[in-house]
């Protein structure tokens, strides 16, 4: 089951559809990446909203087009609110996406992520260590950084995709997007993306948003990955370091061309 | 009751007074905009401080020059701390400002905002949908984005201003600032301001800060709106997208000229 | 006990050691500075992770190389989680650093900081007002801004260092780093650093990280201060205000030369 390279044409084709759809994304994410996540969604033409109280989150998850659950700064209270939002989103048939930050090494989030798996996320986005840990194939990295390559986690990702009928995205130098049947690969990007906090978390928000598009979801999610790789590569060319990379990356997402490319 | 255009002279005149006063602003705001709000206040010469524990918030609200309450990521615990701060600020005769983010659609914040109204804010800043919802004239937008124009919300804003003896700011392509008797209008700005998270929330913090100035409060609040429009317009001229807009906007606030302009 | 000027050679020598060590820093910090703190650590080659649930924080403090406790947006629940993390870090012999934001004026954090002192931080970083208040020499400033000069707080810092066998950093136009026996001074920097939120808090995170280096801890902590002064000075030379200062500062940390300088 070799991965297929996701075509740039498909990614460029999906972008104007995304902008036109302008998904309203309910983000329940960690404290560190909230601003960047919101700005990434805005730069791509989506509409972010962070609603966190359990009762309000349940209300809002039914209104929004998509929901993101990121466990980076989980607490018991937040887990309860996230659970309420997931149940509400599912009832309203809105897709939701899981970012299992640092799953494996820490007990609360590990239990919670495994519980969430059974509630059927539309997509999961993590680095190799996180996907391996979620699939039960390892104990996770030391923290938020991955100690494995994305390719090494691909079999685990495919297993997860099949077992839970979901799309699994493993990001790294090459991103893999799989539902266990088909696997797409996206290359590109730049190492500076790992020297800025929140690029992975923000991608998860865009993956969540892309769940609201019609058409082939696997391809749409791969397109989200491709936009990030392309913008990251462009931004790095205009950056003197991770500081100037951040505004350049948002500008690149904003100006990314959606026309069909050869 | 036609609005009067707020003069650029008045806005330019108020700026050095603001910088000299350097208000210490107690911000109880949402998770997404904390950093940007603090940096906006610093760029204008004010002094931001975020204190959130109920007991500490009550202590600090009496020390600070002004208080901001923004319900964007409200929880029950935060509502309790905000209530304590508002009561303390009122007792110490410090002005406080309400930003009723996404009021209308969500129960907890809607109830809380209506409760807060009775505690007499010095000012309220929202977009058209929020002001309409707060005035009971509509059920609010789908989230943080407005679905109405500021002009459409002006009668509701004027009603609110009269009913609660407060200043209401409705922001949009044109900002309206009203106490129900007088109405000022501020135009300018740039659409990029809506593609960056937190510009409205940060303006609310500056509105709160301007409550600490002596003189005509309606005019001072309108001046705060004018500084934002002017800085936004300048920054957009130096930006390649929303990413580079953010630092350019802070720089523009920092370098904004306070001299009298024709 | 006159301070010695910390040599640029020592600071330049410590930088590649820091980058090679790449400390994993567990940051329990305030809501306002999380993103900037993470990006500063990443720009210097360290690895930040924010874990905040009490149980998870205790787990993670034993895994990470260093722990930062910053009380800027303290709540009772956060104090409990921080306590658990400190106890765990101490048991695992991992160094932890205290940033006593706005200690003195506010009750909860003042009590908590005094309790934490008895749990033996490896280092404490604050402005003059905070260090004076922590040492019991004053009631603290009005908020996060200092109303005293660093030199005025040096005797209090030296007392604290001796009493609690810790390293105390008082930052200001000149930074002083003392354990009560030796005192190092670092000058440089730029006033723009005080017009951006989080530079002090982010320095505390780097001070925490530097506790994980081998060698002379006092010198390593002074080197962290020197990197900030140098990057701040470089960035200010390329900035049009506090907005453009932020990316320029991160870029400067990223490109800072670690070679021995005369």
Cβ-Cβ contacts under 8 Å, A243 against chain C: 39, 43, 246-254
Cβ-Cβ contacts under 8 Å, B247 against chain A: 247
User: What pLDDT, on a 0 to 100 scale, did the predictor assign at position B260?
Assistant: 47
Q: Is A246 on the interface with C (CB under 8 A)?
A: yes
User: What pLDDT, on a 0 to 100 scale, did the predictor assign at position C123?
Assistant: 98
For residue A145, name the pLDDT band (cuts at 50, 70, 90).
low
Rounded CA separation C156/C149 (Å)? 12
For residue C261, name the pLDDT band (cuts at 50, 70, 90).
very low
Q: Over 90: is that where the pLDDT of A130 sits?
A: yes
pLDDT (mean) for B105-114: 96
Shortest Cα distance, chain C CAs vs residue A193, angstroms: 11
Rounded CA separation B45/A6 (Å)? 50
Rounded CA separation A226/A15 (Å)? 10
Q: Is B9 on the interface with A (CB under 8 A)?
A: no
Cβ-Cβ contacts under 8 Å, C195 against chain B: 42-43, 254
User: What pLDDT, on a 0 to 100 scale, did the predictor assign at position B262?
Assistant: 40
Q: Is C100 on the interface with B (CB under 8 A)?
A: no
Shortest Cα distance, chain C CAs vs residue A155, angstroms: 27
Rounded CA separation A165/A121 (Å)? 8
Burial zone of A191 (CB within 10 Å; 0-12 exposed, 13-18 middle, 19+ buried): exposed
- Distances in Å between the Cα of B60 and the Cα atoms of A165, B22, B55 are 51, 17, 9
User: What pLDDT, on a 0 to 100 scale, did the predictor assign at position C142?
Assistant: 56
Q: Which three-class secondary structure state does DSSP give residue A251?
A: helix
For residue A260, name the pLDDT band (cuts at 50, 70, 90).
very low
Rounded CA separation B35/B42 (Å)? 11
Q: Over 60: is that where the pLDDT of C260 sits?
A: no
Shortest Cα distance, chain A CAs vs residue C51, angstroms: 6
Q: Over 80: is that where the pLDDT of A141 sits?
A: no
User: What pLDDT, on a 0 to 100 scale, did the predictor assign at position A261?
Assistant: 44
- Distances in Å between the Cα of B162 and the Cα atoms of B178, B181, C24, C191 are 9, 7, 56, 44
Q: Do C42 and A244 touch (CB under 8 A)?
A: no
Q: Rounded to two decimals, what is the model's pTM?
A: 0.96
Averaged pLDDT of chain A: 94
Shortest Cα distance, chain B CAs vs residue C244, angstroms: 5
Portion of chain A with pLDDT greater than 90, in percent: 91
| Residues with Cβ within 8 Å of residue B195, at least 6 apart in sequence | A42, A43, A254, B242, B245
Q: Over 80: is that where the pLDDT of C139 sits?
A: no
Which of C32, C79, C250 to mutate against chain B (most B CBs within 10 Å)?
Answer: C32
Rounded CA separation B103/B109 (Å)? 6
Task: For domain A4-255, give its CATH number from 1.10.150.240, 3.40.50.1220, 3.10.310.10, 3.40.1190.20.
Answer: 3.40.1190.20
**DSSP single-letter state for residue C103:** B
For B59, which of C30, C75, C107 is closest by C-beta distance? C107
For residue C144, name the pLDDT band (cuts at 50, 70, 90).
low
Shortest Cα distance, chain B CAs vs residue A39, angstroms: 6
User: What pLDDT, on a 0 to 100 scale, did the predictor assign at position A2?
Assistant: 80
Q: Is the ipTM of this complex over 0.90?
A: yes
Q: Is B120 on the interface with A (CB under 8 A)?
A: no
Portion of chain C with pLDDT greater than 90, in percent: 90
Q: Which residue of A has its CA nearest to B76?
A: A53
Q: Do A144 and C49 touch (CB under 8 A)?
A: yes
| CATH class, B4-253 region | alpha beta
User: What pLDDT, on a 0 to 100 scale, did the predictor assign at position B147?
Assistant: 63
Report the phi/psi class of residue B123: left, alpha or beta, with left for phi > 0 and alpha for psi in -120 to 50: beta
User: What pLDDT, on a 0 to 100 scale, did the predictor assign at position B259?
Assistant: 60
pLDDT (mean) for C241-254: 98
For residue A109, name the pLDDT band (cuts at 50, 70, 90).
very high
Here the tokens at position A72 are 């980076």
Pairing outcome for strands B123-127 and A4-5: unpaired
User: What pLDDT, on a 0 to 100 scale, did the predictor assign at position C1?
Assistant: 64
For residue A148, name the pLDDT band (cuts at 50, 70, 90).
confident
Cβ-Cβ contacts under 8 Å, C199 against chain B: none
Host H or E run for residue A49? strand A47-49
Q: Over 80: is that where the pLDDT of B126 sits?
A: yes
Here the tokens at position B181 are 């008797």
Rounded CA separation C20/B224 (Å)? 48
pLDDT digits (tens, 9 = 90+) for A73-97: 999 999 999 999 999 999 999 999 9
User: What pLDDT, on a 0 to 100 scale, did the predictor assign at position B1?
Assistant: 64
- Whose CA is closest to C70, among C176, C202, C218, C163? C202
Rounded CA separation B78/B82 (Å)? 6
Q: Do C52 and A75 touch (CB under 8 A)?
A: yes
pLDDT digits (tens, 9 = 90+) for C176-190: 999 999 999 999 999
Provide the 10 A C-beta neighbour count for residue B121.
Answer: 28
Q: Do B240 and A249 touch (CB under 8 A)?
A: no
Burial zone of C145 (CB within 10 Å; 0-12 exposed, 13-18 middle, 19+ buried): middle
User: What pLDDT, on a 0 to 100 scale, did the predictor assign at position B258?
Assistant: 79
Report the phi/psi class of residue B69: left, alpha or beta, with left for phi > 0 and alpha for psi in -120 to 50: beta
Q: Which three-class secondary structure state does DSSP give residue A231?
A: helix
User: What pLDDT, on a 0 to 100 scale, did the predictor assign at position C259?
Assistant: 60
pLDDT digits (tens, 9 = 90+) for C42-94: 999 999 999 999 999 999 999 999 999 999 999 999 999 999 999 999 999 99
Q: What is the DSSP string of C154-173?
A: HHHHHHHHHHHT-EEEEESS
Integer Rg of chain C from CA: 17
Q: Over 80: is that where the pLDDT of A241 sits?
A: yes
Pairing outcome for strands B167-171 and B175-178: antiparallel
Exposure string (b/e) for B224-249, b if CB count within 10 Å is 16 or more?
A: bbbbbbbbbbbbbeebbbbbbbbbbb
Shortest Cα distance, chain B CAs vs residue C169, angstroms: 22
For C251, which of A107, A143, A244 is closest by C-beta distance? A244
Rounded CA separation B251/C15 (Å)? 31
CA dihedral A26, A30, A32, A37 (to 10 degrees): -20
Q: Is A24 on the interface with B (CB under 8 A)?
A: yes
Q: Which residue of A has its CA nearest to C42?
A: A195
User: What pLDDT, on a 0 to 100 scale, did the predictor assign at position C103?
Assistant: 97
Q: Do B31 and A39 touch (CB under 8 A)?
A: no
Q: Tokens 């989200």 appear where?
A: A224
Q: Domain map of chain B by residue range?
A: 4-253
CB contacts under 8 A, A 133-192 vs C, are 142-145
For B243, which of A50, A56, A251 is closest by C-beta distance? A251
CA dihedral A62, A68, A72, A78 (to 10 degrees): 0
What phi and psi values does residue B167 have, to the nearest 5 degrees? -100, 130
Residue pair B219/B8 in contact by the 8 Å Cβ criterion? no
User: What pLDDT, on a 0 to 100 scale, did the predictor assign at position C137?
Assistant: 82
User: What pLDDT, on a 0 to 100 scale, did the predictor assign at position B199?
Assistant: 98
Pairing outcome for strands C175-178 and C183-186: antiparallel
pLDDT digits (tens, 9 = 90+) for B40-83: 999 999 999 999 999 999 999 999 999 999 999 999 999 999 99
Cβ-Cβ contacts under 8 Å, C249 against chain A: 243
Residue pair A74/C56 in contact by the 8 Å Cβ criterion? yes
User: What pLDDT, on a 0 to 100 scale, did the predictor assign at position C119?
Assistant: 97
User: What pLDDT, on a 0 to 100 scale, did the predictor assign at position C147?
Assistant: 63
Q: Over 90: is that where the pLDDT of A253 sits?
A: yes
pLDDT digits (tens, 9 = 90+) for B225-254: 999 999 999 999 999 999 999 999 999 999
Q: Tokens 């009269």 appear where?
A: B162
Averaged pLDDT of chain B: 94
Q: Do C142 and B56 touch (CB under 8 A)?
A: no
What phi and psi values does residue B221 have, to the nearest 5 degrees? -65, -40
- Distances in Å between the Cα of C96 and the Cα atoms of A189, B86, C62, C120 are 36, 36, 11, 8
What phi and psi values does residue C85 have, to the nearest 5 degrees? -70, -40
Rounded CA separation B23/B220 (Å)? 13
Q: Which residue has the higher pLDDT, C95 or A146?
A: C95
Q: Which residue of B has its CA nearest to A235?
A: B243
Residue pair A91/A50 in contact by the 8 Å Cβ criterion? no
For residue B137, name the pLDDT band (cuts at 50, 70, 90).
confident
Here the tokens at position A129 are 């260590």
Q: Tokens 């508002």 appear where?
A: B86
């Amino acid at each position: 089951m070799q991965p297929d390279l996701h075509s740039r044409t498909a990614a460029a084709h999906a972008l104007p559809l995304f902008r036109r759809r302008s998904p309203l994304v309910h983000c329940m994410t960690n404290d560190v990446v909230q601003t960047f996540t919101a700005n990434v969604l805005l730069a791509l033409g989506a509409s972010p909203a962070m609603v966190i109280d359990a009762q309000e989150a349940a209300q809002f998850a039914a209104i929004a087009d998509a929901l993101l659950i990121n466990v980076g700064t989980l607490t018991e209270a937040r887990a309860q609110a996230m659970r309420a939002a997931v149940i509400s989103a599912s009832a309203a048939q809105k897709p939701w996406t899981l970012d299992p930050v640092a799953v494996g090494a820490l007990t609360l989030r590990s239990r919670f992520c495994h519980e969430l798996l059974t509630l059927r996320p539309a997509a999961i986005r993590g680095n190799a260590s996180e996907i391996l840990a979620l699939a039960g194939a390892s104990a996770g990295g030391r923290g938020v950084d991955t100690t494995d390559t994305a390719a090494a986690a691909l079999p685990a990702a495919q297993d997860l995709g099949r077992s839970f009928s979901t799309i699994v995205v493993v990001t790294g130098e090459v991103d893999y997007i799989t539902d266990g049947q088909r696997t797409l690969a996206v290359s590109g990007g730049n190492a500076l993306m790992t020297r800025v906090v929140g690029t992975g978390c923000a991608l998860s928000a865009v993956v969540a948003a892309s769940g609201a598009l019609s058409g082939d979801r696997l391809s749409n999610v791969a397109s989200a990955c491709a936009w990030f790789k392309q913008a990251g590569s462009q931004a790095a060319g205009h950056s003197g370091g991770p500081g100037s990379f951040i505004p350049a990356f948002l500008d690149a997402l904003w100006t990314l061309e959606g026309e069909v490319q050869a």
